[in-house]
């Protein structure tokens, strides 16, 4: 099954790479092409969020490992963690953002690469972090001021935070981070060499191209929905039906639909409430990034405890 996943993900990365190039050149040629933030939100809610919509199934598996029969414990814990993240963000936005960016970097690096790597060493985990860190560094490098503007909209008003970012920009720390990310991709490629692992560089250049041509929000949306989320969804579909990807994907959509719809409903309720105090774009950015943080933390915790206890 692992070879099947490798082959499908390799084809997916090739397609994504060429589509990204075509789309970015098109957007560059027609520089007045404007894709609204509401479309980004819809894509993230429909495609992006759905790749974590089977967490309730994984939660049941984790409860079984702990010999806990009540499924409500999982749902209550998941909701409490999500709520705690939102409250923490409101109270300590700068610290929560930094922690979220670190966790997200590791999460992106690992889930985009682990199907190629059969190694759980600490060194490999560190390589995952630096590989995923490119998704954070690229918008800062190509669109520093736009990225800072997004941080400000996310309730970040700490002067020391922005002084630190200015220090990072002026002392070429971002460039050093990108070099580290490049080296991590090289190490992951040559470690137990296999030609199919060339997919690592396709993803690497796709992220750079996206962030060079597109705004930070649009670049993140395209990456998160059409590379990260679809790749994870493909793996879940194959788990559901190892013999038929098409049938597995149908099962995945059916099982993911309830929680995806529920997340969408809560998001639009939040959008309605926030729109009373903020303009539409600001409200959408808050829902996208603070909302994703509130879903990412319990998702990663679930994956960690499940992997640890299954091992």
Check: CB of residue 166 under 8 Å from CB of residue 151. no
* Dist CA 69 CA 137 (whole Å): 43
* Structure confidence at residue 176 as a pLDDT band (50, 70, 90): very high
* DSSP assignment of 72-133: HHHHHHHHHHHHHHHHHHHHSHHHHHHHHHHHHHHHHHHHTTTTT-----HHHHHHHHHHHT
Range 120-152 burial, b when 16+ CB lie within 10 A, else e? eeeebeebbbbbbbbbbbbbbbbbbeebbebbe
Q: What is the mean pLDDT of residues 7-18?
A: 88
User: Residue 305 above 90 pLDDT?
Assistant: no
| Contacts of 280 by beta carbon, 8 Å cutoff, 6+ apart | 37, 38
Q: What is the CA radius of gyration of the chain?
A: 19
| 61-65, 107-111, 210-214: range with lowest mean pLDDT | 61-65
| Contacts of 149 by beta carbon, 8 Å cutoff, 6+ apart | none
CA end-to-end span of the chain: 19
Check: CB of residue 64 under 8 Å from CB of residue 74. no
Q: What is the pLDDT of residues 72-113, one digit of tens each?
A: 888 889 989 999 999 999 898 888 999 999 999 999 999 899
Return the closest-CA partner of residue 96 out of 137, 151, 35: 151
CA 212 to chain centre: 19
pLDDT of the residue at 311: 59
pLDDT of the residue at 121: 87
Average pLDDT taken over every residue of the chain:
87
* DSSP assignment of 179-230: HHHHHHHHHHHHTTT-GGGGHHHHHHHHHHHHHHHS-HHHHHHHHIIIIIIH
pLDDT of the residue at 30: 61
For the chain, what's the residue count?
311
> Phi then psi for 155, rounded to 5 degrees?
75, 15
* Structure confidence at residue 29 as a pLDDT band (50, 70, 90): low
* 309 vs 97, residue with greater confidence: 97
Token code pair at residue 302 = 């679930």
* Dist CA 282 CA 276 (whole Å): 11
- By percentage, how much of the chain surpasses pLDDT 90? 41
* 244 vs 103, residue with greater confidence: 103
User: Residue 32 above 60 pLDDT?
Assistant: no
Check: CB of residue 85 under 8 Å from CB of residue 291. no
User: Residue 55 above 90 pLDDT?
Assistant: no
* Dist CA 146 CA 217 (whole Å): 9
* Dist CA 38 CA 267 (whole Å): 12
Residues 6, 11, 13, 17: what is their CA dihedral angle, to the nearest 10 degrees? 160
């Amino acid at each position: 099954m692992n070879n099947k996943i490798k082959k499908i993900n390799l084809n997916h990365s090739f397609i994504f790479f060429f589509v990204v190039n075509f789309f970015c050149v098109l957007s560059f040629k027609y520089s007045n092409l404007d894709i609204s933030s509401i479309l980004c939100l819809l894509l993230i809610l429909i495609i992006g969020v759905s790749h974590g919509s089977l967490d309730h199934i994984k939660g049941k598996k984790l409860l079984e490992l702990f010999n806990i029969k009540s499924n409500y414990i999982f749902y209550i814990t998941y909701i409490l963690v999500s709520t705690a993240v939102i409250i923490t963000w409101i109270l300590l936005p700068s610290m929560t953002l930094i922690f979220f960016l670190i966790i997200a970097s590791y999460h992106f690096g690992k889930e985009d690469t682990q199907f190629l790597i059969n190694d759980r060493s600490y060194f490999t985990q560190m390589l995952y972090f630096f590989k995923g860190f490119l998704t954070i560094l690229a918008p800062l490098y190509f669109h520093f001021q736009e990225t800072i503007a997004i941080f400000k909209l996310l309730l970040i008003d700490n002067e020391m935070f922005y002084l630190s970012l200015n220090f990072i920009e002026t002392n070429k720390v971002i460039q050093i981070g990108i070099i580290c990310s490049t080296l991590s991709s090289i190490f992951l490629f040559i470690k137990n060499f296999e030609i199919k692992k060339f997919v690592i560089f396709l993803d690497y250049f796709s992220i750079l191209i996206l962030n060079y041509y597109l705004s930070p929000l649009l670049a993140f949306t395209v990456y998160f929905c059409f590379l990260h989320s679809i790749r994870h969804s493909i793996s879940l579909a194959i788990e559901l039906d190892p013999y038929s990807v098409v049938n597995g994907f149908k099962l995945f959509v059916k099982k993911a639909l309830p929680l995806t719809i529920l997340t969408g409903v809560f998001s639009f309720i939040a959008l309605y409430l926030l729109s009373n105090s903020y303009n539409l774009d600001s409200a959408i950015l808050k829902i996208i990034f603070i909302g994703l943080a509130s879903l990412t933390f319990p998702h990663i915790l679930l994956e960690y405890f499940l992997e640890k206890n299954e091992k």
